[in-house]
Structure 1
Amino acid sequence: MSLSFTKINNMSRTISSEIVLLIKDNLLKGALKPGDKLPTEKELMAQLGVSRTPVREAIKILESIGVIQIKRGEGMFITNNQSHFSLNPLIFSLIMHSNNIEKLIEFRQHFEVLLINMIITKKDKDIRKIEEVYQSQVERMKPHLSPEELTNIDLEFHYAVLDETNNPYVVEIGKTIYEIIKPKMVHFRKTNSIERTLQSHKAYLELLNAGDDFHPTTAVQRMIRNNEEMIKE
């Protein structure tokens, strides 16, 4: 199935956000289903009455969160992986706010503090898996890797932290936040990014081991300073 879209008239949000919202609405209404083929980039431009840039921005967002798959020589398709969170309205709602970088960073820092607090207060706290991921990162994060590869290795640490909370609500929200942040992570284009990331993760582990000495305010301030330089619009 190749769906035809009508022109975008509501410009209360960015054009790329409007395109993402359009896909979301069609998914929720059932007009688009897993496996359906989308119009080509040029067809979307013509149907929606927009330029190439917002179409590509929307495609990048939808691909990064697993809503669409791009198959070379075949086109763009709605993912067939129904276990993925591509049909979760939460992720689309958050995407609508994803251009507000300051609020995104603010939420992420307080969310990280929530994670730390949940883990250090667990009676059966066991951060060995997180420590193993960190040690793996020390060995694997090398300058010859691409920024995308380094970003994926970076996020392994944060996914391990999510898993240790053993809370499905936290895990799903956390994965959503990281997937939205992922395309905006640009720090691995800088020469000192690997060292900085490893230092940040080491400090994170120290906080997880802090126990009663954990100070949320100090942790938030430290994370904000670090992540403001790691994420930009």
Structure 2
Amino acid sequence: MALSFEKINLNRTISSEIVLIIKDNLLNGSLKPGDKLPTEKELMEQLGVSRTPVRESIKILEAIGVIQIKRGEGMFITNNLSQFSLNPLIFSLIMHSNNIEKLIEFRQHFEVLLMNMIIAEENDIKNIEDVYHSQVKRMNPDLSPEELANIDLEFHYAVLEATNNPFIIEIGKTIYEIIKPNMVHFKHSSNIERTLKTHHYYLELLRGNVDFNPTLLVQQMIKNNEEMIE
């Protein structure tokens, strides 16, 4: 019997509702590890939505390890599905992703936590340094907004990994994947210098060349993120 979904409740953001539908089908057993999902077109028709929210929800589900995309074959529920992939906290973040202002506020304070953890524990930052130097070479005006956002996020993922905390890493990755569509919307060539300047500031904090001041750090992040809120 072919898998079919009902049209969604538009009281939530469309992409969030699609993610919730997949989660509910996993929890009630309608979907199981290894199951093949309908195609993008089939999901659009069954759910009564456009292509954009379907693709956004697929990116989120792929990022948190719920689905796997196999080229030429389609989308599948991963065989390595872990309970953490269905953690209520993770899905709570996704369900509230329509409140972009509060999400960005949470991200700002979350990144202060990251910096403090790495500095306090004197963790290795070599990978962060390598990613930053790579970004300096690769970020250029010829890249698309999505490519610029992806390169930007490489730095933040490296910071997450430097905490050596699996809970921080998983929650952080989810935050960045949810916020990524807004990053793509405001990314253009004029942002390159500001992005690199911010990452350099973070790096100097981690190197101990700048005093760690949580208030100033949040203010810096507010300035960087204000375009995404507008």
**1:145 offset after TM fit, Å?**
2.7
8 Å contact 1:134–1:202 — kept in the other structure?
yes
Name the counterpart of 1:63: 59
Structure-1 separation of matches of 2:95 and 2:221: 24
8 Å contact 1:147–1:189 — kept in the other structure?
yes
Tell me the TM-score normalised to structure 1 length. Answer: 0.82
**1:177 offset after TM fit, Å?**
1.0
Q: Percent of aligned pairs with the same residue?
A: 72
Structure-1 separation of matches of 2:205 and 2:32: 44
2:189 aligns to what SS in structure 1? Answer: coil
1:145 aligns to what SS in structure 2? Answer: coil
Tell me the TM-score normalised to structure 2 length. Answer: 0.83
Deviation track 1:172-192 (CA, whole Å, cap 9, x = no partner) reads 111111121122212664221
Structure-1 separation of matches of 2:172 and 2:183: 16
**Which residues in structure 2 correspond to 1:73-92 (within 5 Å)?**
74-82=73-81, 86-92=85-91
**Which residues in structure 2 correspond to 1:1-233 (within 5 Å)?**
2-8=2-8, 10-41=9-40, 43-48=42-47, 50=48, 52-53=49-50, 56-66=52-62, 67-69=66-68, 74-82=73-81, 86-122=85-121, 124-186=122-184, 189-210=187-208, 213-229=211-227, 231=228
The number of aligned residues is 227
8 Å contact 2:144–2:188 — kept in the other structure?
no
User: Could you say if the C-alpha distance between residues 21 and 132 of structure 1 is closer, same or farther in structure 2, counting changes exceeding 3 Å?
Assistant: same
Deviation track 1:141-188 (CA, whole Å, cap 9, x = no partner) reads 223333222222211111111111122221111111112112221266
Unaligned runs of 5+ in 2: none
Structure-1 separation of matches of 2:128 and 2:72: 40
8 Å contact 2:32–2:77 — kept in the other structure?
yes
User: Could you say if the C-alpha distance between residues 4 and 125 of structure 1 is closer, same or farther in structure 2, counting changes exceeding 3 Å?
Assistant: closer
8 Å contact 2:101–2:229 — kept in the other structure?
no
8 Å contact 1:142–1:194 — kept in the other structure?
yes
**1:198 offset after TM fit, Å?**
0.6
8 Å contact 2:146–2:184 — kept in the other structure?
no
Unaligned runs of 5+ in 1: none
**1:119 offset after TM fit, Å?**
1.4
8 Å contact 1:162–1:174 — kept in the other structure?
yes
8 Å contact 1:130–1:157 — kept in the other structure?
yes
**1:135 offset after TM fit, Å?**
1.0
Moved more, 168-177 or 70-79: 70-79
8 Å contact 1:126–1:164 — kept in the other structure?
yes
Structure-2 separation of matches of 1:85 and 1:137: 31
